[in-house]
């Protein structure tokens, strides 16, 4: 089993409920989506083929032995769109079998059914401003685990905010899933977003991209 890998790097989790937590990232190459704000276009094509055993050996070497608790070693499969690789669920299972906590960053455009239930699924529901709002499988909501998985909305503008609020309310997703609202870097004022969420009393988590705050928007491998 081989995968085209763009990069493997150790950093802190830049987004989501686990923000700031040290994490080993495996970024796979390739994505069929073309979001207007994409910040990883270099992952569309760049990368090299690697055997899965080689990848797993690097994970073990860089994370050390698995352990439980809040400081457990953490690894995330990201992209691009990792589920564009048909064997990505097998890689996720192999990472789980090593004993680590495992996360997946995905756009929700590919079926989550084959993904092991134990994997933390961080699912990005694309908004109208992304240009990819139609790239969504509604059935994926049935495969997200309450108390574990996260539903993320990256918002380009106030219209995206209104759309995301209505979409969540219609499905009452915030009653069972962690919902994240994030402003597109440099396009939507995060202070406005936070103030709006507070004023509307929304049960969502406002987030910014911590890695960009720390190292800037252009730096790779963070």
What span, in angstroms and rounded, lies between the C-alpha atoms of 187 and 170? Answer: 26
Q: Output the CA torsion 49→52→57→63 (10° steps).
A: 90
Q: Which of 8-17, 46-55, 113-122, 204-213 has the highest mean pLDDT?
A: 113-122
**Is this model's pTM higher than 0.75 or not?**
yes
CB hemisphere CA count around 107 (13 angstroms): 24
Question: What mean pLDDT comes out for the span 98-116?
Answer: 96
Residue ranges of the binding site for Mg(2+):
40
pLDDT at 177 over 80: yes
Residue ranges of the binding site for substrate:
12-14, 27, 78
Structural domains of the chain sorted by starting position, each given as residue range(s) with its CATH number in brackets: 2-215 (3.20.20.70)
pLDDT at 110 over 80: yes
Write down the mean pLDDT value for the chain: 93
- Which helix (H) or strand (E) covers residue 171, if one does? helix 158-171
Residue ranges of the binding site for [4Fe-4S] cluster:
31, 35, 38
Question: What mean pLDDT comes out for the span 165-185?
Answer: 95
Q: What is the pLDDT of residue 166?
A: 98
What span, in angstroms and rounded, lies between the C-alpha atoms of 195 and 145? Answer: 29
Residue ranges of the binding site for S-adenosyl-L-methionine:
37-39, 80
Residue ranges of the binding site:
12-14, 27, 31, 35, 37-40, 78, 80
Q: What is the pLDDT of residue 85?
A: 94
What span, in angstroms and rounded, lies between the C-alpha atoms of 221 and 37? Answer: 19
Q: What is the pLDDT of residue 123?
A: 97
pLDDT at 35 over 80: yes
Q: Residue 88 gets which letter from DSSP? A: H
Closest alpha carbon to 124 in 170, 82, 180: 180
């Amino acid at each position: 089993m081989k995968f085209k890998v763009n990069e493997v790097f150790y950093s802190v989790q830049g987004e989501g409920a686990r923000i700031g937590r040290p994490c080993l990232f495996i970024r796979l190459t390739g994505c069929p989506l073309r979001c207007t704000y994409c910040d990883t276009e270099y992952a569309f094509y760049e990368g090299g083929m690697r055997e899965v055993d080689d990848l797993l050996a690097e994970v073990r070497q860089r994370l050390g032995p698995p352990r439980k608790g809040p400081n457990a070693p953490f690894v995330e499969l990201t992209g691009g769109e990792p589920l564009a690789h048909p064997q990505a669920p097998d890689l996720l299972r192999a990472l789980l079998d090593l004993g680590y906590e495992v996360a997946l960053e995905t756009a929700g455009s590919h079926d989550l059914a084959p993904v092991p239930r134990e994997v933390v699924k961080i699912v990005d529901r694309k908004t109208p401003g992304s240009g990819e709002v139609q790239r969504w499988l509604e059935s994926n909501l049935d495969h997200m685990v309450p108390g574990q998985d996260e539903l993320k909305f990256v918002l380009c503008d106030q219209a995206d905010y209104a759309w995301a609020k209505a979409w969540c309310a219609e499905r009452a997703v915030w009653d069972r899933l962690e919902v994240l609202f994030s402003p597109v870097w440099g396009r939507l004022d995060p202070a406005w977003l936070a103030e709006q969420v507070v004023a509307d009393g929304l049960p969502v988590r406002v987030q910014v991209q911590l890695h960009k705050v720390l190292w800037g928007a252009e730096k790779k491998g963070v």
